[in-house]
Structure 1
Amino acid sequence: MTVETISVGPETVEVASFSEVRPRWSAELRAAVSGRINKVFDTALAGERVEAGATLITIENSRYVAELAAAELALKEAKLALWKAKNATTLARKEFERNNTTPPNDLALRLPELEIAQSRVTSVKSRVEAARRQLDDSTVTAPFSSFVAERFVSPGQSVNAGETLVKLVDDTTFELTVELGRRDWVLLQQPLPGQTAHVVSQDGETIAQATIRQAGGFLDEKTRQYKVFLEIDDPGPVPVLSGDFVRVILPGVTVPKALNIPASALTQEGYVWYLDENDRLQRVTPQVLYRRQDRIVIEAPEGADTWRIAVTPLVSFLPGQMARAKKAGI
């Protein structure tokens, strides 16, 4: 029987789970104004990568240019009316001062007219801002650096406010959500926020480091599992793709007494066989802490500091059966 002699020692647990890479921002840009599509830029074509602020689509804007011009004219007229009202109030006040008399009421000083003129200026300023915003909205730009996932309009097409124009997905910051059961949760190194986790591809290659943003604030109402929220804001040389299915390795606690055994030593029934000091077979049902490739880390059973673990246990093994040990690799 092939055995591997393993000493009890500390092991830092790695808690792993699978997750889907998702963009932090994903938006369907909708028309804020109505009109005919004037131009669709190449940046708005599906699959294009665009920087924040890049122009995607323009909507015919002559109507909004006219509305802004009318609003600015109304503002000038309102300011003129305000200036006249201020002048009238000043003249009235000086007249009473010259006659050394007290004005009987605010009406005598033209104060109501002044207040109305001030309110009109404030109102028309808001109208100008609204008109300018509508004019700006006729040019659709990317609100963040992203990929164009889908385009919904073409040049010459008429759109109404609220219709979808393009769909964008973030290309710089990605998010991951990992769900863990209570058994894995207690093995994590607390507090989690701010710590780093490894993001591993399906090929086993580390493609990024993720920062744990928040964890364990609530349980999922369906699965009753803990949720860990991570973000990747510096993907590195290996591309991180939205929608990719990855393995996330979270930082765990250090178990002072553990055994790092071959994965083949754990039977389908969950037993680990070993030889005692009398060369007799014994078995234990260990608590598996985590798996790492072809190794398994388990909590060390009570007893000895060194264990002779059966590398490939047979179904014919019986507790108390005599066996001759052969060291692994010999």
Structure 2
Amino acid sequence: MSDQTGQRNNASKWRWVWILLAIGTLVAVGGFLAAIEDTADVSATDAGPALQLVSFRALEAGDVNASVEALSEVRPRWSAEIRAAVSGRVIEVSEAALSGQHVTAETTLFQIERTQYETAVAASELALQEARLALLRAQNKTTITRRQFERDGIQPPNELALHLPELRIAEGGIASAEAQLAAARQQLEDTTVIAPFSGIVTERMISLGQTVSPSEPMVTLVDDTRFELTVEVSRTDWDLLDHPIAGQIAVLESTSGTPLGTAIIREGGGFLDPTTRQYRIFLEVSRSENTSVLSGGFVRVILRGRTVEDTLTIPSTALTRTGHVWFIDPDDQLVRQTPDIIFRRADRIVIRVPQGEMTWRLATTPLGFFLPGQQVAPHMVEGN
């Protein structure tokens, strides 16, 4: 019993020894660290923080020929769904009527059975001959009656006595018969369906042996030689154009900037679009060796503008998302400006010269920490 009590006392004694040793070690480390901090070398200097390096381009104010750019869809001048003008069975389908075929104007596309229309023409020609015979009889009757009254020295009592109403009816019969004959001949001619203009057959809806009725669609034909474009511009852009614009040449480019040719401005202005409230400009394009536009595509139309004085041309990257540009003044301090943008051209922006006397050193890459009046270290870069 006494041995167990002694063992417990010894264990308790060693526990306190280890605790005291740990406390002593902690105090010694703390003192060592405090001594190191107190003896750290701190050198004082009068030099301020390094200035931020800012790249800039030197700009000169000058005159520039304005231009206005807009997107437009290329549309064919003529696009028609050709329909049957008469009824009948289709007895011939030309190779030119197949989808994808290029046809020229007056090319035969379909042939509809002609028999009934040839019969109608023959009947109308006979009716015209009969009407002419009736007119001759009426004229002869009127002539004989008039001579008889003259021979007797008697004044005809009325037009009926001279058979003039019958003469007028006979003359009207001639006009009616001629009109019926013209209509019959037109129907006979309509049995041959031809292309009204040159273009591409985009869809065929009729097959050989099928019976068609009037106004039934047969093919869709799209002009591929002449195109039209419509451009909408704002009032500001309209004022930039060189007026009058009718007859001027506009440059066409693809959306990626590839040259496609030119277009002629047919007309422009005169009214505002009721939805967008913008001016509309109408252009036309004729296919040639130097023009490679396709119907249905989108193109960039570049319209020639007037000369604008006192401008600066800056890269588009110099314009911040908040619509500001940064200049560096003669004291190497940043100046923030809200530019008056005149127009954009590719990756360039043309602005009016800001107010104030300063050297036009433009910060090419504005950074988020720029502040007005901030002192910087300018670095000039080459470029336009």
TM-score, L = length of structure 2: 0.81
Structure 1: tracts of 5 or more residues without a match: none
Q: Which has the higher contact order (CA 8 A, sep 6+)?
A: 1
Q: Tell me the CA shift for residue 187 of structure 1.
A: 2.5
Q: Tell me the CA shift for residue 193 of structure 1.
A: 2.7
What pairs with 1:174-189 in structure 2 (closer than 5 Å)?
Answer: 174-189=227-242
Mapped partners of 2:288, 2:228: distance in 1: 11
Matching of residue 97 in structure 1 with residue 154 in structure 2: no
**Kept in 2: contact 1:208–1:236 (CA 8 A):** no
Q: Tell me the CA shift for residue 306 of structure 1.
A: 5.0
Mapped partners of 1:267, 1:301: distance in 2: 16
Matching of residue 326 in structure 1 with residue 379 in structure 2: yes
Q: Tell me the CA shift for residue 305 of structure 1.
A: 7.6
Match of 1:117 in 2: 170
Match of 2:159 in 1: 106
Label 1:7 to 1:305 Cα distance change in 2 as closer, same or farther (>3 A). farther
Amino acid at match of 1:171: D
Deviates more, 1:283-292 or 1:111-120: 283-292
Q: Tell me the CA shift for residue 126 of structure 1.
A: 0.7
Mapped partners of 1:175, 1:304: distance in 2: 48
**Kept in 1: contact 2:326–2:335 (CA 8 A):** yes
Deviates more, 1:273-282 or 1:211-220: 211-220
Per-residue deviation, residues 187-237 of structure 1 (Å, max 9, x unmatched): 233333332221111231221222222323333333333322222135542
Corresponding residue to 1:129 among 182, 194, 201? 182
Match of 2:346 in 1: 293
Matching of residue 215 in structure 1 with residue 268 in structure 2: yes
Mapped partners of 1:208, 1:80: distance in 2: 64
Deviates more, 1:5-14 or 1:299-308: 299-308
Larger helix fraction of residues = 2
**Kept in 2: contact 1:8–1:306 (CA 8 A):** no
Corresponding residue to 2:206 among 153, 159, 165? 153
Mapped partners of 1:66, 1:56: distance in 2: 23
Match of 1:255 in 2: 308
Match of 1:310 in 2: 363
Label 1:305 to 1:324 Cα distance change in 2 as closer, same or farther (>3 A). closer
Matching of residue 16 in structure 1 with residue 16 in structure 2: no
Amino acid at match of 2:264: T
Q: Tell me the CA shift for residue 152 of structure 1.
A: 0.6
Match of 2:254 in 1: 201
Matching of residue 243 in structure 1 with residue 243 in structure 2: no
Structure 2: tracts of 5 or more residues without a match: 1-53
SS in 2 for 1:212: strand
Mapped partners of 1:298, 1:139: distance in 2: 62
Per-residue deviation, residues 100-125 of structure 1 (Å, max 9, x unmatched): 33333323322222111111111111
TM-score, L = length of structure 1: 0.94
**Kept in 2: contact 1:38–1:60 (CA 8 A):** yes
Label 1:229 to 1:91 Cα distance change in 2 as closer, same or farther (>3 A). same
Per-residue deviation, residues 273-317 of structure 1 (Å, max 9, x unmatched): 111121211111112222223322111112348511112222222
Q: Tell me the CA shift for residue 42 of structure 1.
A: 1.2
Larger Rg: 2
SS in 2 for 1:286: coil
| Equivalent residues, number | 330
Mapped partners of 2:241, 2:281: distance in 1: 11
Q: What is the root-mean-square deviation in Å for CA atoms of aligned residues? A: 1.9
Match of 1:30 in 2: 83
Matching of residue 190 in structure 1 with residue 190 in structure 2: no
SS in 1 for 2:170: helix
